[in-house]
Amino acid sequence: MDLGLQGRRGIVVGGSRGIGKAIAFELAREGVDLAIAARNAERLHATATEISAETGRNVYPLVCDVTSRAEVDAMVEAALSSLGSLNILVNSGSAPGGSPTATGYIDTIVDEDFLQDFNIKYLGALRCARACIPHLQQAGWGRIVNISGLNARIAGNLSGGARNTSLVHFTKTLASQLGRDGITVNCIHPGITRTERTPGMLQARAERQGLTPEEVEDGDYAKGSPRANALGRMVDATEIGHLTAFLCSDKAWAITGEVIAADGGGSSSVYY
C-alpha cells in the first residue's frame, strides 16, 4: 500500500534512539524528509547519518531539550528553515518509566521529580505541538502522533501512568481543535517495547529477581514478564514505527483523537 508520504516533511522529537528512532527510520523509508530532536548531540548526529545513509532522505539533527520553550521554538524554526514546510510532528522525547520516586505509595513521591516527569513528557509534547501547529495549519495537511504508554491504563505508577493519561486528554483536545485545519492527532500506547535499552532493562530485572535475562524475558505470565501479552513475544520498536507511519499516512484521515495500544495484546481489559 502506498502510504502517500513521499515528499512530506516531519519532526520526530526523541528521534535519536529507541521508539523515536524506529519511527524516524520508518517515516524516512516512506519518503519523508525529517528533523530529529533530542539533547545528546553526538547520538543525534550518528542517528541522522545512519537514517540518511540507508534511506537517502534528508535528516537534520537538532539539539533541543523539550523542557525549555525557547529551545523548542528555536528547534522548530531551524527545522522549518531546513525542511521548507512541515506536515508531521511525532512526540517521543521522553525516557520510559516515569520518575523512579513515584512508582510506589503516595508518600514516597518527591515533588520535584514528579514535576520534572510531567515537564518532559506532557509539557514537552505541548511545547512542541504549540510551536508546530501554525506550520501544520499553513501546510493544510498535518499529523501529530503522541507516543504515550500502556501504563496509562494500569493503576500503580503515579507519575508514569498519570503523565501518559495526560497525553490522551491532550490528543483528544487537539484533535477536536485542529480537524478542520486538515490535521489529525492520535496517540499510541506502547507496552514493553524492545529498544536499545532492553538488554540493560532485562539485566537489571534479572539481578533483582536472581534470574538470568533470558529467564526474565521468558518468565511467568503472572509475574509480568515482557512476553506477557497475547502474542507471547516482546513488541519491537520497528512495529511502533509501522503503526506511526500508517497514522501519519494519507490513508488514515478517518482516525483522529484516537488512542491505539500497540502492546501485542497485553491488557486483559475490554475497551469498547
Ligand X SMILES: NC(=O)c1ccc[n+]([C@@H]2O[C@H](COP(=O)([O-])OP(=O)(O)OC[C@H]3O[C@@H](n4cnc5c(N)ncnc54)[C@H](OP(=O)(O)O)[C@@H]3O)[C@@H](O)[C@H]2O)c1
Sites of contact with ligand X (CB under 6 A): 14, 16-20, 38-40, 43, 64-67, 92-96, 120-121, 147, 149-150, 190, 192-193, 195, 197
Nearest distance, CB of residue 6 and ligand X, angstroms: 25
For the bound state, the minimum distance from the C-beta of residue 101 to ligand X, rounded and expressed in Å, comes to 16
Whole-number Å distance between alpha carbons of 36 and 61:
5
Minimum gap (Å) between residue 72 Cβ and ligand X: 9
Q: Which residues contact 105 (CB under 8 A, 6 or more apart)?
A: none
Compute the distance between CA of residue 67 and CA of residue 64 in angstroms, rounded to an integer. Answer: 9
Q: Which residue is nearest to ligand X (CB)?
A: 18
Pick between residue 8 and residue 21 the one whose CB is nearest to ligand X.
Answer: 21
Helix (H, G, I), strand (E, B) or coil at 15: coil
What minimum distance in Å lies between the beta carbon of 217 and ligand X? 13
- Per the CB < 8 A criterion, the answer to whether 186 and 256 are in contact is yes
Provide DSSP, 201-226: HHHHHHHHHTS-HHHHHH--GGGT-T
d(CA 5, CA 90): 14
**Minimum CB distance to ligand X smaller for 88 or for 147:** 147
Compare residues 141 and 162 and give the one whose CB is closer to ligand X: 162
Ramachandran angles phi, psi of 91, nearest 5°: -100, 105
Smallest separation (angstroms) from ligand X to the CB of 19: 4
Q: Which positions ≥6 away from 134 have C-beta within 8 Å?
A: none
Name the percent of the chain in helix, strand, coil, to the closest 5: 50, 15, 35
> Per the structure block, which three cell numbers stand in for 210?
536472581
Name the DSSP class of 7: T
Q: How far is the CB of 31 from ligand X (least distance, A)?
A: 22
